[in-house]
Amino acid sequence: MPTSTVTKLVDRLEAAGYLRRTTDATDRRKTVPELMPERIAPLQVLYGRADDEFDALTRTFDRRELETIIQFLQGVSDFYHLGNFEPV
């Protein structure tokens, strides 16, 4: 993902109260996003089981298979992002 996209995402999550930026302990030029447990708790209840099941599914693939899946998903993302798809 481009840096600008990640920055916008972090900005939105911070504005919504889901995380805050903290200073990196070893490099003051960096910031580290820190999740706000009290704000994400309801999401964990809602999505926690799905996350656990998704993690279990992911563990059924070896590294090479996951790399192929990533390549495929990146290709699909690029296809839609580059405007190659026109709804009928």
Q: What tens digit of pLDDT does each residue of 55-72 get? A: 899 999 999 999 999 999
Residue carrying structure tokens 């939105």: 12
- Structurally, the chain folds into a number of domains equal to 2
Q: How many helices (H) and strands (E) does the chain have?
A: 3, 2
User: Rounded distance, CA 67 to CA 60, Å?
Assistant: 13
On whether residue 12 sits in a domain, the answer given is yes
User: Rounded distance, CA 30 to CA 85, Å?
Assistant: 38
Residues in the chain: 88
| 65 and 88 inside one domain | yes
Q: Is the pLDDT higher at 66 or at 78? A: 66
Mean pLDDT (the chain) is 88
User: Which residue range forms the structural domain that includes residue 23?
Assistant: 1-35
| 31 and 52 inside one domain | no
Q: Name the helix (H) or strand (E) containing 21.
A: strand 19-23
Q: What is the DSSP letter of 82?
A: T
| 53 and 24 inside one domain | no
Any bridge partners for residue 33, and if so which? Answer: 21
